[in-house]
Each structure stands twice: as C-alpha cells, then as structure tokens.
C-alpha cells in the first residue's frame, strides 16, 4: 500500500478539504494468552506488519465522509446524529469511534478520509481493532484532542462493544495502539498495566509464521458466550473454597486440585484459563532469558489445552498445527485467536521457513481441500502518524 495513492484519491474526492495527515494502525497476532482476557488474565500479543492506512483532513462541515479503497465505497454520517449503517458494515467501526469520543466529552469537527488495509480478513488478526485504533488516532490528531493513547484504546473497545455489537476484550485494540518494533506486549487485562518485551526472534534466527486455515470462524459468537458463562460459573463454585476470588485470574496453578474437582466441562474450561495464564508468565521469563525453545513448547501446550480443555479448535486447525509441529526447525505451533477456524501461529528457525511453506501448501489442501494463506510476520510498531 502506498500513502501517495491514498493522498491522490483524497485530493480527487475531497478537493475542498484541508491538507490531510496519514495514520497507520497494525493488525496483531496473539503469541500466548488465549481466552484469558475476559477472565481478567494475561495476554501476550504482538503488532504485525500488515496495517490499515488512513489519509484524512478536516472539511469545515459537520459531516464525516469516508471512502474505502478496498470496498470502493463511500459512506458518510453527521456528527450530530451517528447512525449504524446496514449498507457499509466497515464504516461502523469508524462511526462507533466518533460516537464514543463525543460521549466521552470530546468535540469533533467534520472530516474526510480515505482508507485501505492489507490485514488478512477473517484470520483472527484484528483488522477491526486496527480500523478502530487508526480512526481514533486520526480523529484525535485532526481535532487536537491530546487524548491519552490508553484512553483511545478503551474508547475503541467500547466502540466495538456498544456500537458494532461485538463483545470483545481489550487485547486487540491495545496491541494495535501500543505495539513496538521487535517487541511483544505483556498486558494485564484487569489493571491494563503493560510491559513491552523484546522477543529476540529476529536476533536469534527465528521467524513468526501465521497460516490462515481458510476456515471462517462460524461458531465463535455463540460458543464464546457459552465459554464466558462457564468461566463465571466456575468462579462462583470455586468461591466456596476461595472466597476472595473475583475471576479465574485469581486462581493459581496451586489450586488445580480444586479446579479439577469442578463438574464436567467447568473443570476443563477453568483448567485452560489457569494454565494459560501461567504459560504467559513463563513465556515472558523464557524470552527474557533468550530461551525460544522453551517458549515454543509453551505454544504446543497452549494448543493442546485449547483443543482438549477449552474445545475451541477445529479439525483444520489441528491438521495445520500437526504439520507445523512435525516440521524440522519448528519450536512451537498453536491455533491463535478465538478459534473454530482462523489462523495458527508458529515459531520456526529461519532456515526452515520454505520447507514449512512447501509442506503446508502440499499436505494441508490434500487433507482438507482448502488452500491456506501463509505469512511471515515481524513485530511491528503500533498506531502512528506517518511523516512521508
């Protein structure tokens, strides 16, 4: 994607508007910490190279006009009345951000913008969060809001929860806004305290490979709500022995005997969350010591837990992970994202990436009839204004 192309389109569509600025917001991949965010737990995502670009400026009116190069569509709304659009679904993420900024007491002026993205769709790489975070940063810069970046993250999440209607946690928006080159983000989802952790993958000769299974995540919404309620039910039962806990985040691996005594599926769901939080903490220590091999083993354990205890994997994801784990040079592989489709993340020695690509492109379609998408990503900077 070329900012100059967006600037040219902006000049064609909005010749009367003010000189624009350019904002970029990246997607993200979650390395460890799956389904822990809504349990007040720990997550460890990293921002990735693909991103959404915005070119936008003030227009002297009370309207916001948006043109998507990806959809070749124009959509607009009035700042005095921000309605949900049934015709231009992509625009609702931007509408929702404007809505939340106004509700938070910020004053917005009319704006025009052109946007384009190269984040793979439907792979669980958070194109929606990038759209929200990029729009939030653009609006803040154009209107001189001087808004704190963490506040913009919170408002972006609220836009998706309350305007778009998706009950997501805060991890995706946080990673897109606060990411840093060559670092992953350790986030405490209860306190929103965060730490940038140098991954060292590049320096030590490893690559992060993300493979989109080609399976659309069809069951996520209904199953997601079931998992949330099961986790809440597990907390209620565990309070009989651990009266001070507020969420599964407060249950440690030293309490696994109590967890395992829970009835049926509740034991499995709680066991995943408790052990996954522990894996995040151990994974960060491993990277700080430069022990990528151990970090990889934690990815393998995470997938087994997501498959067997949380039961959010699917046949295709399991096939992909098995191919990856069986390939020389791979230190670890797992499904990433909400599950029931989407993508896998794999840590592999750089010299073996092409061997993995060849195996995946040969074996996975033979077993599933689906052609996967294969990506090699590096840890990217978070949302930023480009000075090109």
- Nearest alpha-carbon partner for 114 in 53, 51, 60, 61: 53
Q: What is the DSSP letter of 267?
A: H
**If you compute the radius of gyration of the chain from its CA atoms, what whole number of angstroms results?**
21
The SS3 assignment for 279 reads helix
Residue 133 neighbours by CB distance under 10 Å? 33
State how far the Cα of 383 lies from the Cα of 183, in Å rounded to an integer. 14
Residue 172: active-site member: yes
Q: Which helix (H) or strand (E) holds 141?
A: helix 127-142
Residues 270, 234 contacting (CB under 8 angstroms): yes
What would the two tokens of residue 126 be? 């958070």
State how far the Cα of 39 lies from the Cα of 72, in Å rounded to an integer. 39
**What ranges make up the beta strands (E) of 90-205?**
111-117, 183-188, 194-198
Cα 269-120-215 angle, rounded to 5 deg: 50
Q: Which of 172, 188, 291, 326 is catalytic?
A: 172
State how far the Cα of 222 lies from the Cα of 230, in Å rounded to an integer. 13
Cα 123-125-131 angle, rounded to 5 deg: 120
Residues 60, 300 contacting (CB under 8 angstroms): no
Residue 321 has φ and ψ, to the nearest 5°, of -60, -40
DSSP string over 328-380: TTEEEEEEESSSSSSEEEEEEEGGGHHHHHHHHHHHHHHHHS---EEEEE---
Positions marked catalytic: 172
């Amino acid at each position: 994607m070329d900012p100059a192309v967006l600037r040219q389109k902006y000049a064609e569509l909005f010749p009367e508007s003010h000189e624009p600025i350019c904002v970029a917001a990246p997607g993200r991949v979650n390395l460890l910490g799956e389904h822990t965010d809504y349990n007040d737990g720990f997550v460890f995502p990293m921002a990735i190279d693909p991103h959404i670009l915005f070119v936008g400026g003030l227009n002297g009116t009370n309207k916001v006009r948006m043109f998507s190069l990806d959809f070749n569509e124009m959509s607009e709304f009035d700042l005095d009345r921000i309605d949900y659009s049934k015709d231009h679904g992509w625009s609702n993420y931007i509408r929702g951000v404007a809505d939340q900024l106004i509700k938070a007491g910020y004053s917005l002026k009319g704006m025009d913008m052109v946007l384009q993205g190269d984040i793979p769709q439907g792979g669980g790489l958070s194109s929606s969060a990038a759209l929200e975070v990029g729009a939030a940063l653009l609006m803040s810069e154009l209107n001189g809001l001087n808004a704190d970046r963490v506040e913009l993250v919170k408002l972006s999440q609220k836009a998706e929860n309350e305007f778009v209607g998706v009950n997501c946690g805060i991890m995706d928006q946080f990673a897109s806004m606060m990411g840093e080159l060559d670092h992953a983000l350790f986030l405490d989802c209860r306190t929103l305290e965060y730490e940038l952790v140098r991954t060292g993958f590049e320096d030590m000769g490893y690559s992060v490979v993300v493979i989109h299974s080609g399976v659309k995540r069809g069951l996520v919404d209904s199953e997601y709500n079931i998992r949330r309620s099961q986790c809440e039910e597990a907390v209620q039962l565990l309070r009989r022995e651990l009266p001070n806990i507020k969420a599964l985040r407060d249950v440690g691996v030293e309490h696994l005997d109590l967890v395992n005594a829970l009835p049926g599926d509740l034991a499995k769901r709680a066991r995943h969350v408790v052990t996954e939080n522990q894996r995040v903490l151990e994974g960060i220590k491993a990277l700080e010591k430069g022990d990528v091999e151990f970090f990889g083993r934690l990815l393998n354990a995470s997938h087994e837990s997501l498959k067997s205890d949380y039961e959010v994997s699917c046949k295709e994801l399991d096939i992909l992970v098995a191919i990856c784990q069986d390939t020389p040079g791979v230190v670890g592989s797992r499904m990433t994202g909400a599950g029931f489709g989407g993508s896998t993340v794999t840590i592999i020695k750089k010299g073996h990436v092409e061997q993995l690509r060849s195996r995946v492109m040969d074996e996975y379609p033979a077993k599933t009839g689906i052609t996967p998408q294969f990506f090699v990503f590096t840890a990217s900077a978070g949302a930023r204004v480009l000075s090109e």
